[in-house]
Amino acid sequence: MSGDILRLDEITDASVGGKAYGLSRLAAMGLAVPPAFVIRDARAGSRPDDLDQHLRRIGDEVAVRSSAEGEDGAEASFAGQYDTVLGVSGIAALNAAIDHCVASAGADRARRYRQDQLGADSTTMNVVVQRMVDARVAGVVFTADPVSARRDLLVIDAVAGLGEALVSGRATPDHYAVNRTGDVVRRHLVGAAPLLSDAEIAAIVQQARAAADHEGHPLDLEWAIDRASELFWLQ
């Protein structure tokens, strides 16, 4: 069925797109994932009848992200090709954000990338709606070094506030590399003080490596730590 809504615990396969499926996998592992749902086969101007009910369940301020067919898969990441809308409050703003994400699939850059990577002119656009995290610091963790491909080195990039500044390239991150025994062997800081404490680094490392071991291959994951120092996994 198109246009229906699934909670993360109702997702059973990657037909909802890599992003939504990945979130469901992380949540099933017991990691802290902000409450979310996915609108399957979302279309501009067409909404499930129970959208308002699902929004109330997860909280009024949300992030709206694409989870298109083939996105975040083994063949292509689509990073930056489809749009994300943050800080969405209320059903009217949510409707506009969903339409914005759906429309981004038709943008020239997305169509060219999709054709080059997957040989497809069109895609099914699923949309993830997820409770916003009031992030003190956020970033990305790679369970294998993305430069050297060394699997004994885990790499964390962190920026103050929301992680979208890092993903979009607008902010230079603190950079940490951690070996298999948990020692920080490389630490490049943007400011005078590190954005992450040693305990926060250890928590990110432990949970990210547990997820990679569970999946059986290296992962790159987005995370955020809120102002109460709680670690959440965003994708």
Q: Tell me the C-alpha distance between 211 and 213, whole Å.
A: 5
CB atoms inside a 10 Å sphere around CB 153? 19
Helix (H), strand (E) at residue 40: none
Ranges of beta strands (E only) in the chain are 5-7, 36-39, 61-66, 84-89, 127-131, 135-142, 154-160, 174-178, 184-188, 220-226, 231-233
Dihedral angle, C-alpha 71, 74, 75, 78, nearest 10 °: 30
Q: Tell me the C-alpha distance between 150 and 143, whole Å.
A: 9
Residues 6+ apart with CB under 8 A from 131: 34, 35, 36, 58, 59, 61, 62, 63
Whether pTM > 0.85 for this model: the answer is yes
What pLDDT sits at residue 74? 45
Q: Can you give the length of the chain in residues?
A: 235
What pLDDT sits at residue 73? 47
What pLDDT sits at residue 136? 97
Residues 6+ apart with CB under 8 A from 45: 99
**pLDDT tens over the chain, length 235 residues:** 457 999 999 999 999 998 999 999 999 999 999 999 999 999 988 889 999 999 999 998 999 999 887 655 444 444 446 888 999 999 999 999 999 999 887 655 555 555 555 555 557 889 999 999 999 999 999 999 999 999 999 999 999 999 888 877 788 999 999 999 999 999 999 999 999 999 999 999 999 999 999 999 999 999 999 999 999 999 8
Helix (H), strand (E) at residue 109: helix 108-118
What pLDDT sits at residue 68? 83
